[in-house]
Amino acid sequence: MVNATDEPLHRRLLALLDVALKEDEVTASGLATQLSAPVSEVEAELRALVRFGSLTRHASSNGEARYSVSPKRKKIGEMLIAAGHMTKAQLEEALAEQGRTGERLGGILLDRGYVSKELLGNMLAAQHGIPYVNLSTHPIDEQLVRSLPERVIMDHKVVPFARQGTEIQLAMLDPTDIMAVDTVEKYLNGHVRPFLITEADFGQAVTKFFDVTRKVGESLLGVGDELRELDHAAVGVADSYDTSPVVRVVNTIISDAVRIGATDIHIEPEAEKTRIRVRVDGLLIDKAVLPRSVSDGITSRLKVLAGIDIAERIRPQDGRILVTIEGRDYDLRIATMGTAFGERVAMRLLSNRQVMVGLERLGLFPEQQELLQTLLGRQHGMILVTGPTGSGKTTTLYASISYINDRIRNIMTIEDPIEYRLPGITQIPVREKSGITFGVGLRALLRQDPDVVMVGEIRDPETASIAVHAALTGHLVLTTLHTNNAAGALVRLLDMGIEPYLLTSSVLAVVGQRLIRVLCTACKRRQSAREVDLQILGLPIDTSLTLSVGVGCGECAGLGYKGRTGAFEVMVMTDVVRELVLQRKPASAVMDAAVAAGMTTLRGAFIRKVVDGATSIDELQRLMVVEVN
């Protein structure tokens, strides 16, 4: 069981200790026998664990020391609960996810937003008894990092960030990894002083020093030769390709995008060069500019992987690539098309990982959340979520579904594509090629006796009509529509041929939403509002108000923003709204009536988020410009 000799001793020992120390003390010789390893090596490992505070050493009369778990070493989850940072239920959910994915607990807690990076770091530091270093704000000695082979940094997840005399300050994800300490000491010729970092820190540091531009530069050598071969022997390229420069560049581009949390990768040919850009938090960022000769090879490689015709460079094609990066599976949807300067490629990165955001984390104001929860408690009717592409509509639907998932109702979805897997819920993908459109799929799904139905998107009159009838016949229907605001959705459905009286008796509410960028908490500053700011906010110019701005720091890659949150308007089908829809009044009239009844508009939500300090006045202006266009 523990005899897999290809595993490093450190890991095998930890696995063994995990079991053996639950009830008993252990000795070095006892462990060495079980591991078939030299006693001296096991002892060295145990001494390191004592040094890191994980184990306590007890001297004994016969000379052989015994080791037990240090009483001060508590589990990180329990520490967070004890300190009131997290609930027991949250820990259990996170542990269940860890059981499924095998990822680190800390990373899961961060992803779910239960703890901040700073808090996690400090808790881990307290647990291990060694200091935490925030690498995104702490200076890093670049030369020192570069003097360690990338392989060592990646394998052991360590970053040497400073040197003082013979002391090497080493940021480590696992400070008990004595192999890492040995290796780094050997390479850098000094004595390691361990510091703790979080997985997020490590990812950021790695992105900074081993980013795509540099890697691409290193990998360029030899690409030209390869391309000549490619032209002549397009078939069978995949097999002979695995260690080639093009493959390395492609891998770097994809894994770099994943690491910085990008949702899309664009390869855009221009007259002389090709630009590679990625979308992070909704905006495109330049990653690299490559010579055309290189990008052609990259495009061909991607097309081979996606199983699409590499000889076809003009007509649009689409395909998908399944990749595993750092233990996580990704589904890359790739679309190509010919442009004036060559073939353009867009890739969308979908993670198979379940990232479930609760209603409370969407960005709804408390009164909006309460309203939505009341509506989701209804047995039948339709709730529409509207907004342009990339406004977070699907996330809102998933959060709503998981809010009402009580396991005593049959919840079914039809989606294109399925972005997250929801446990306990039947999800059906749209398969246009097999004739399963939204309309066909929805009709079939309704014969499966569902209580709650989620329709990924209403795109056509047929789907609209089936969805409305489902809502009228005892089903709760959740769906999205591509319109600019809540009132527009009702008009759009009328345009799709839905009778006004059917609409007013089926729709419960329409939620309009956008995603706004959130100011980076690490570099956010307060400053008094200027006259021009107050004008933008529509406030009297003598108002005294402080606003927040992002300065830009290592944590947010200098952008001043990190992550996004939703801004919402929730329009309920009140009697007044109903009357206006029955009279087929324009969207503006419906909107005015809803506002008169007290609805917060999207614009109002933006402003409130600026005043609350969640985002900046610049972001508000950017959003307003987008709205006008």
For residue 82, the one-letter residue type is: A
Kindly state whether residue 522 participates in binding Zn ion, applying the rule CB under 5 A. yes
Rounded CA separation 35/260 (Å): 39
Interface region with Zn ion, contact rule CB under 5 A, candidates 30-38, 105-113, 512-520, 565-573: 512-520
CB of 553 to Zn ion, least distance (A): 4
Helix, strand or coil, per DSSP, at residue 405: coil
Counting every residue, how long is the chain?
629
CB of 521 to Zn ion, least distance (A): 8
Kindly state whether residue 415 participates in binding Zn ion, applying the rule CB under 5 A. no
Interface region with Zn ion, contact rule CB under 5 A, candidates 21-29, 342-350, 472-480, 518-526: 518-526
Specify whether the CB–CB gap between 38 and 52 falls below 8 A: no
CB of 142 to Zn ion, least distance (A): 20
Interface region with Zn ion, contact rule CB under 5 A, candidates 356-364, 406-414, 445-453, 513-521: 513-521
Kindly state whether residue 280 participates in binding Zn ion, applying the rule CB under 5 A. no
Residue placing its CB nearer to Zn ion in the complex, 86 or 522: 522
Give Dmax (Cα) for the chain.
95
* Near Zn ion by CB under 5 A: residue from 470, 471, 523, 567: 523
With CB under 5 A as the rule, give the number of residues binding Zn ion.
6
Q: Exposure of 2 by Cβ count < 10 A (0-12 exposed, 13-18 middle, 19+ buried)? A: middle
CB of 78 to Zn ion, least distance (A): 31
Provide the token pair at 544. Answer: 């005294």
CB of 117 to Zn ion, least distance (A): 12
Alpha-carbon torsion, ordered 615, 617, 623, 626, to 10 deg: -160
CB of 286 to Zn ion, least distance (A): 19
The percent of the chain in helix, strand and coil, each rounded to the nearest 5, is 45, 25, 35
Residue placing its CB nearer to Zn ion in the complex, 376 or 522: 522
Q: What is the CA radius of gyration of the chain?
A: 28
CB of 98 to Zn ion, least distance (A): 29
Rounded CA separation 439/450 (Å): 16
Residue placing its CB nearer to Zn ion in the complex, 381 or 554: 554
Say how many C-beta atoms besides its own lie within 10 A of residue 535's C-beta: 12
CB of 351 to Zn ion, least distance (A): 24
Kindly state whether residue 520 participates in binding Zn ion, applying the rule CB under 5 A. yes
For residue 55, the one-letter residue type is: L
Residue placing its CB nearer to Zn ion in the complex, 536 or 553: 553
- DSSP E strands, 135-216: 158-164, 167-172, 191-196
For the segment 549-578, give every residue that binds Zn ion (CB under 5 A): 553, 555-556
CB of 107 to Zn ion, least distance (A): 20
Q: Exposure of 240 by Cβ count < 10 A (0-12 exposed, 13-18 middle, 19+ buried)? A: exposed
Kindly state whether residue 200 participates in binding Zn ion, applying the rule CB under 5 A. no
Say how many C-beta atoms besides its own lie within 10 A of residue 338's C-beta: 15
Nearest-CB residue to Zn ion? 520
Residue placing its CB nearer to Zn ion in the complex, 414 or 520: 520
Residue placing its CB nearer to Zn ion in the complex, 520 or 599: 520
Straight-line distance from the first to the last Cα atom of the chain, in angstroms, rounded to the nearest whole number: 63
Residue placing its CB nearer to Zn ion in the complex, 70 or 116: 116
Interface residue list for Zn ion (CB under 5 A):
520, 522-523, 553, 555-556
